[in-house]
Structure 1
């Protein structure tokens, strides 16, 4: 797959101080498709940190490839990143088995216009990533590559090391599994802003009245503290239980708290700070204009990159 005679080039993102050199086909191809590669890795892993590590491995392998033997750069790069993500996914699964409390994906700060690409926005949403967690590694890879990035079965077979016929069966099984569980969310900008303002007011002032009007009866809150920060070890289900939590927990510790609206995983969210230190990300999932899920990410290890906009693409 790689040529030992070629020395890996330096990662173009890791050495911004280097002077501009003559155009390099390998670097140009990698930079051109980097957002796609990151998105593939992130959707397979649910972790931006691990996705970045996978991209480093991808670059090392790609930079040593004899490009003269590569027919299509995009497909070859996707094949490398998929194989590296599958290796990393098995390690992550073992790590999650000992994870303290509910596990949520690492939140991504996304540009507002990502939400305009409905398929891409849906694929990186918290809700979809949690559904993908219920798939096996091969199913997850095949679903992402086929349903999100529209690769043909032959390309996917090369990436996952299976026959095209096997990939078709896996794709059908994964599609049926996801379709039965995927929560759809296409709120209008006005609905999203209304819900966001109500939640922002509730956690910064203690005023819950407006929040009642935008909560679905069966709303669910999940908290991820990773055993580092305090978080509920179980889901909170229903309006009454969520309001009780806000009244007895959040609303009694308002001093020094602020909440900044932003887009997390292409959905409305709040970046919560206390005394200028990041405390949590609250990501909202809306259906028919009402909040059906609240994802409360408190694990500080997952919040290190939340102020750095992630480049996602297809």
Structure 2
């Protein structure tokens, strides 16, 4: 189940908050490796590192790193901070964090009886790659809005893995990252998506929240076997807490898999079967035959949700100003523009809800 290797750090390639990318020498050749200093300490050139090379050997795109499990000759100091939430529980790298909702948190009293999002718009998306595109559409109309990212645990567990989230936080496009469930490493930690949403509103003071899984979603080519079903569950959570759920459709014109062309079957299942609460599902006003196909597929959701058609004029220009690289399943703007336009349209609609 795990491919173990021992290697030597050759150099630090780059780093961002919570993560360091390394060049590591292995018996079979050099490779890229990723370390999370809050978990394992900061590896330096010359260090021996213990690696999990499973994702590297499998050739995974998003997760195609060797992962540093330990720097055995130079262990980090024991943590001395508060926190009783254990995440990645009962794995060799389980970590204790301070949850916003736990008793020792300074926000416990704020969240203890919190039960409402006060009508806060909550944009729900399937893929992590939708995050910056949604923000492009939202800030095109409401540049002063405070937006939080609530990260689900269907993809990467460490919030540190996302270079996009780190950069969006740095540029002020996100007022904070909330990691929920088994995910960890955000500005705020929460036990569930419900307390994560409440923390976004009452701890971070967000005007709107975007909910999506971390990078590296899981799919099996079956109707129900994909981690994006959590998008439907997030709609339910937002609604029961008095938020205004907005559904961003997963759309593609460039995917080679027919089940994802037009409106992905992930969106049709998550919103059409899993989401029991009513949401405003944004249908991008795409031109031509492809736009007609997207509209026809989305029409199947009309019995359960309010469909809102949003024009896409001007959104490509806004997407071009993104402070982070736009990429979905390895495709950029030029290879799959409709994918990003659909997310940006959801952001544009959310801006309108903010008044």
* TM norm structure 2: 0.26
Higher relative contact order (CA 8 A, sep 6+): 1
Higher-helix-fraction structure: 1
* TM norm structure 1: 0.29
Higher-strand-fraction structure: 2
